[in-house]
């Protein structure tokens, strides 16, 4: 019944715009100016000055200070006269905090759980068991069996000694660092006489900014200031099967790849290529790691992005982070039994990873994300969003590359602009009209709303996007 209602709602939205060949023009004017172009209160001005003086400038931020949120809405303080009540401007967050807030902002159930657990136990160190780290890991494993992944078809159970295991960390970068270390340890343990050290990644991939993960992120902009990086790294071209034999040789310990390159432009991997990559890793004895930090945990419609793929394409390890605790810092590596067997006490560690507060929240979030009604909603709103983006490609062929757009899966979609610089301009124009979008790669506008997004929110974001593209067209033809 819920799936039917979602389909009916989507169909009504489709009918509402499909008969109109003209773009929406309701949002041509700026409604949400950044503070740099608007008067601010002395309090906000002083606050921004303190931030600029004391916070390292590793981000270029618009002059907006968000104070609170609810669902997909974020609120920033508006300039007001001294002594008058504070007022707030509402933004529709169509980025989910960069694919993090799967259940939206300020979820009341999570807030209640966080408060309760904080009053009991926040940290006790990994020298001891705590109540929630093992429970969360157990749920992650059992859900993987239920939905499929890491060599298991949906519903398949592990034989004795073949159970999946989890390492808990603090972020996606740390999860990737751990997976790379585990790959080298596993490869070394198999054959001490022929030590394998080479790690392989693919161009336009993004795996993090710590030195190891950065070494596997072949982007000159990110790498150049920090070279020399980790040695014994080899790069290949995404979706090119002809390179695999030479790329993945007998000296390779591990290969890391995103099933959908998020930061690289929302580029999906060809399933046949992933099958060939899996086969090549098996042939040479290299560990295959899927970085699903951005595309995992139901964002693409299935638990893991690779859950919807044949088991012949499954990895040995999968890394996850962003949505796992809906904004509380956490990361994890889920691995097959042979990898786990190679790791012994003292090989790796973490101070904060696996803490009871974050793990209790993650345990709750996993249960919510697995709700069939939510998964049906993701599928329905993905179809709605894709249909609207397809319409936009038709309306703006001079601005949008319709041959490659929209692309992606579930609620991780991308749209390429014909002029790369226009992607950032679209994001800025949309923000000035109250909708927060993301860029990706060199030319892509990325759409990654919370998984609880509703049809009317998709419709509003796309109406704003159509108006923004009208403004951009006028700018480019003026």
Q: The whole model's pTM is what?
A: 0.94
Domains 2-106+375-477 and 135-343 agree in fold? no
Q: Is the pLDDT of residue 65 over 50?
A: yes
Neighbours of 402 (CB within 10 A): 18
Q: Is the pLDDT of residue 74 over 60?
A: yes
User: How far is residue 317 from each of residues 49, 334, 345, 349, 370, measured CA to CA in Å?
Assistant: 44, 6, 19, 18, 21
Q: Which fold has domain 2-106+375-477?
A: 3.90.1150
**pLDDT per residue over 248-302, tens digit each?**
999 999 999 999 999 999 999 999 999 999 999 999 999 999 999 999 999 999 9
d(CA 208, CA 401): 29
**pLDDT per residue over 97-129, tens digit each?**
999 999 999 999 999 999 999 999 999 999 999
CA 164 to chain centroid, in Å, comes to 23
- Residues pairing with 167 in the sheet: 333
Neighbours of 194 (CB within 10 A): 11
- Contacts of 155 by beta carbon, 8 Å cutoff, 6+ apart: 145, 146, 148
**In this predicted structure, what is the pLDDT of residue 5?**
44
Please report where in the chains the tokens 């691995």 appear, as a residue: 335
E strand or H helix at 414: strand 412-416
**pLDDT per residue over 391-439, tens digit each?**
999 999 999 999 999 999 999 999 999 999 999 999 999 999 999 999 9
For the chain, what are the domain ranges?
2-106+375-477, 135-343
**In this predicted structure, what is the pLDDT of residue 17?**
59
- CA-based R_g, the chain, Å: 23
Let me know how many helices (H) and strands (E) the chain has, helices first.
15, 17
Q: Which of 303, 288, 362 is nearest to 130 (CA)?
A: 362
Bond before 113 cis per omega within 30 degrees: no
Task: Say which CATH architecture domain 135-343 belongs to.
Answer: 3-Layer(aba) Sandwich (3.40)
**In this predicted structure, what is the pLDDT of residue 45?**
77
Q: Which two tokens mark 463?
A: 């109406």
**In this predicted structure, what is the pLDDT of residue 71?**
98
Positive or negative, the CA dihedral 89, 104, 405, 423 is positive
- Contacts of 451 by beta carbon, 8 Å cutoff, 6+ apart: 96, 102, 103, 298, 299, 323, 369, 374, 377, 378, 411
**pLDDT per residue over 312-341, tens digit each?**
999 999 999 999 999 999 999 999 999 999
**In this predicted structure, what is the pLDDT of residue 77?**
84
**pLDDT per residue over 365-378, tens digit each?**
999 999 999 999 99
Q: Predicted confidence band at 13 (pLDDT cuts at 50, 70, 90)?
A: very low
Residues of the chain with pLDDT > 70, as a percent, come to 93
């Amino acid at each position: 019944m819920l799936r039917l209602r979602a389909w009916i709602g989507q169909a009504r939205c489709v009918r509402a715009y499909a008969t109109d060949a003209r773009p929406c023009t309701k949002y041509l004017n700026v409604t949400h100016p950044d503070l740099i172009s608007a008067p601010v209160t002395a309090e906000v001005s002083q606050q921004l000055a303190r931030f600029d003086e004391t916070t390292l400038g590793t981000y270029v931020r618009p002059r907006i200070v968000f104070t609170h949120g609810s669902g997909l809405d974020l609120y920033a303080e508006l300039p007001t006269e001294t002594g008058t009540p504070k007022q707030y401007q509402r933004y529709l967050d169509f980025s989910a905090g960069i694919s993090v807030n799967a259940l939206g902002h300020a979820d009341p159930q999570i807030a209640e759980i966080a408060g309760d657990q904080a009053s009991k136990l926040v940290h006790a160190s990994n020298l001891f068991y705590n109540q929630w780290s093992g429970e969360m890991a157990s749920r992650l494993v059992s859900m993987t069996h239920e939905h499929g992944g890491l060599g298991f078809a949906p519903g398949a159970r592990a034989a004795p000694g073949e159970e999946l295991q989890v390492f808990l960390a603090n972020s996606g970068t740390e999860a990737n660092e751990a997976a790379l270390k585990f790959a080298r340890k596993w490869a070394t343990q198999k054959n001490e006489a022929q030590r394998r050290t080479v790690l392989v990644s693919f161009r336009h991939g993004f795996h993090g900014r710590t030195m190891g993960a950065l070494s596997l992120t072949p982007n000159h902009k990110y790498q150049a200031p920090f070279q020399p990086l980790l040695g014994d790294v080899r790069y290949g071209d995404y979706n090119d099967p002809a390179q695999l034999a030479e790329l993945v040789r007998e000296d390779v310990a591990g290969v890391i790849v995103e099933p959908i390159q998020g930061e690289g432009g929302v580029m999906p991997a060809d399933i046949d290529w992933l099958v060939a990559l899996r086969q090549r890793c098996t042939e040479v004895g290299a560990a295959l790691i899927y970085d699903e930090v951005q595309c995992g945990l139901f964002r693409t419609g299935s638990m893991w992005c690779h859950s919807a793929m044949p088991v012949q394409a499954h990895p040995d390890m999968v890394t996850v982070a962003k949505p796992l605790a809906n904004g509380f810092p956490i990361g994890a590596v889920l691995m097959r039994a042979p990898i786990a067997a190679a790791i012994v006490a003292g090989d790796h560690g973490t101070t904060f990873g696996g803490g009871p507060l974050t793990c209790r929240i993650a345990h709750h979030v996993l249960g919510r994300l697995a709700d069939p009604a939510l998964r049906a909603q993701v599928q329905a709103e993905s179809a709605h969003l894709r249909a609207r983006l397809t319409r936009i490609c038709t309306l703006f062929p001079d601005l949008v590359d319709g041959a490659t757009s929209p692309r992606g899966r579930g609620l991780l979609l991308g749209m390429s602009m014909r002029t790369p610089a226009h992607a950032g301009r679209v994001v800025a124009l949309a923000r000035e009209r109250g909708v927060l979008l993301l860029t990706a790669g060199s030319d892509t506008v990325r759409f990654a709303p919370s998984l609880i997004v509703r049809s009317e929110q998709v419709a509003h974001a796309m109406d704003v996007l159509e108006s923004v593209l009208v403004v951009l067209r006028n700018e480019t033809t003026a």
